[in-house]
Each structure stands twice: as structure tokens, then as C-alpha cells.
Chain A
């Protein structure tokens, strides 16, 4: 009975897996994304794979044995997973231990050390593991909500000189947000001190719009000529 239950759940996950498409890049040319995809991901080999033995440095075999535990870059793990060769395990940052830590107080966690691309990797895992997706998503949201106040406060108060100290525990995406928040603060400061009396710049949208218009005009002119 127990076995048949297991079997059916296995079948179910197979079906679900085959229905899923390969998790695509969010942005193909983004360097951040390429770096993110090289994060280590723990996997367990689910069937014997021929001629991939070199992936396991501890063995000299030609083939990759079943049930071998490995740490592969996310991009490789992803593709092997889609070929039903490996099962992806949750990295340490998403383990139940981390979940408890994040629930308690996520603002003191050093995300940079734990997983420099925490949210992005989380999103990739969400796409790869539909069974755990909800749980990961909840974890990510909880984590971010706990850390938002810190990011926001730091962005509004931190001096530009001590930025490195402040952002050292931020994940890469959080860091981008921090700088966005700080840009406003610096702008306000510049305005208040009148240290740099800058002109009002034309919005990018308007500049591009004009260019496009001119190009369109030129095209119509040449076609009529």
C-alpha cells in the first residue's frame, strides 16, 4: 500500500515535470543573471548517466552513478533536471533551519554570505520545483518584508562614504534597491545645499520620442522623394 502511494506520487511529479517548460532566463544578456546561474546547487543523481562521471571528482568511473550527491552550478543542474537525470535539493539558504531564522528576524541575516543572489535563486527554484514553490515564495516574501525597513532606513540616512559597511549584508537585488533609494536622498541633499545647481534635464522618454519622430519623418520624406 505504502509503495503504491509512493509510486503514484512519483508518477504525479513526473507528469508535472513533463508539463513544465525549461525555466527561461529572465534577462538573457544580464551579467548578474549569468553570475547568479553559477551558484552552487545540491543535487542527487536519480539515474545512472553515461559518460558524466567526470562531474563527480571523488570517483574515476566513466558513468555517473545513481544516488551520488553533488553540488552543481545552477545552470547545469537545471538542464540535467530537465533531462530527468538529477533531483534538485534545496540549498542551505532555503532549508528549514533558515526558514526558522528568517521567521524570527530576517533583518540581521547576512544574506550576502548566505546566498548572494538569494531572491533570484529562490525564484529559479520556485520555477523548478513546483511542489515547494509556495513554500519558497512565502519564505522569500517573509524575508524581504523583514528586511525592508532596514534597507529603507539605511537608504534615507546612510552617508555615501559608509555605504560599503551598510550594504555588506544585502543581497544583490537589495543593494540595487538601496542605491535607488539613496539616489533620491542625494538629490534632495544637493538641492538643499545648492552645492550643485543643476538644470532640469529632459526626461529620457521625451528625448527618445523626439528621435523616433525625426527618424519617422526622414523615412516618410525619403519614401515620398
Chain B
């Protein structure tokens, strides 16, 4: 999956805006949005919000987690914890990027928000890298990692999958090499739900 596609999916997240115009309810495939009354907050998909914002038709209210205090808290939690912590938004990286690009004035202390999000991202990626390594080194065929976001998964997917395939091919006996069943022995499942099970590391 390409980064562009992940961003496209992220654009479906709902976000609150304060419109500067009046309009009746809009019927979209994902649902009905509106009615738009100037000054009354209403939630719409991110892509629509960005479109309105570019035409100066609204003001975007940043999501609750996109404040310096909130992000500082997440960052500290991430630092203290051995495993991945729960991030309030599944697409935090993409949403931050899109909002900072198109609606910087609407976000208080935008530059600090940007730095914090990047810090969190880097920290999580480092964790992901080391746990992937542990996973490959161990002979396990199954690992559970919670709270990973789509973008983070997307960065490890190709290399991790080819590596697992590669290792399983090296392990195979020559007799089995001709069999049609390929790579079914190794699976890497990642669940996004909150669960009590012990994640790897």
C-alpha cells in the first residue's frame, strides 16, 4: 500500500468545523452531514473540511488530542512504556500533516504540535524496529502488537513479509520445496484492539 492511499483513507476521519456559510444537509455515501449554519460547529469528513478551509468557507476545530499538553502526555507515556501505547487517533500522523499544511492558523502552537507528533512517531518507529527484530530472531510464528496505526504498519510491511517468507524458505526441506503450499506456516497478525495479552518485547 502506498503512503498516498493511507492518507486517502485518513481523509475519511470526521473532524469538527465552524462553517461560515449556510447550507442544507449534504447527502454523502458515508452519511448525511449538516445542516451548515454559520457559527455552529458541525462534524464533516476531513477531506470536505480541507476543501471548505481552502475556500475560506470554514474554520477547523483541531481534534481534542492535537494540543501541546495532550501530546506531551502521550509522548511521556510512550517514553515510559515498553510497549506501544494507545494513540487517540488511528491516523494521527496523516491528520497532523494535512491540517498543518492547509489550516495552520486554526491550530494553536502549530510548530510545537508538529515537533511533538514527529517525536512520537520517531519513538514508535524505533520501538517497532526493535520488536520486529526480536520477532525475526525468535522462532515464533505469531506475534501480537497492539495499538499500531496504519501508517506505522505500512512502513514495515514489505520488508517484514519478505523476510518471513525468506526465512521460511530457508528452513524448508528440499522435498517440501516443490509443494504448492507456500509460507502458510508463518503468520504475523496485528490487532488494533485493546487487549490484555502481553505484547512482544
Contact = CB atoms under 8 A, between A and B. Distances in A.
A191 B167 contact: no
A153 interface: yes
Is chain B's interface secondary structure helix, strand, loop, or mixed overall?
A: helix
B186 interface: no
Q: How large is the interface on B (under 10, 10 to 19, 20 to 34, 35 or more residues)?
A: 20 to 34
A189 to B, nearest CB: 9
A140 B172 CA distance: 11
B133 A177 contact: no
Interface string A195-214: 00011110000000000000
Interface residues of A, number: 38
Contact of A192 (B97, B125, B129, B169): B97
Instruction: Tell me what chain A mostly uses at the interface: helix, strand, loop, or mixed.
Output: helix
B137 A187 contact: no
A140 B5 contact: no
A217 interface: no
Contact of B4 (A153, A177, A198): A198
Contact of B137 (A126, A148, A155): A148
Interface string B1-35: 01111011000000000000000000000000000
Interface of B: 2-5, 7-8, 97, 101, 125, 129, 132-133, 136-137, 154-155, 157-159, 162-163, 166-167, 169-174, 177-178
Interface of A: 23-24, 119, 122-123, 126-127, 130, 133, 137, 140-141, 144-145, 148-149, 151-153, 155-156, 173, 177, 180-181, 183-185, 187-188, 190-192, 194, 198-201
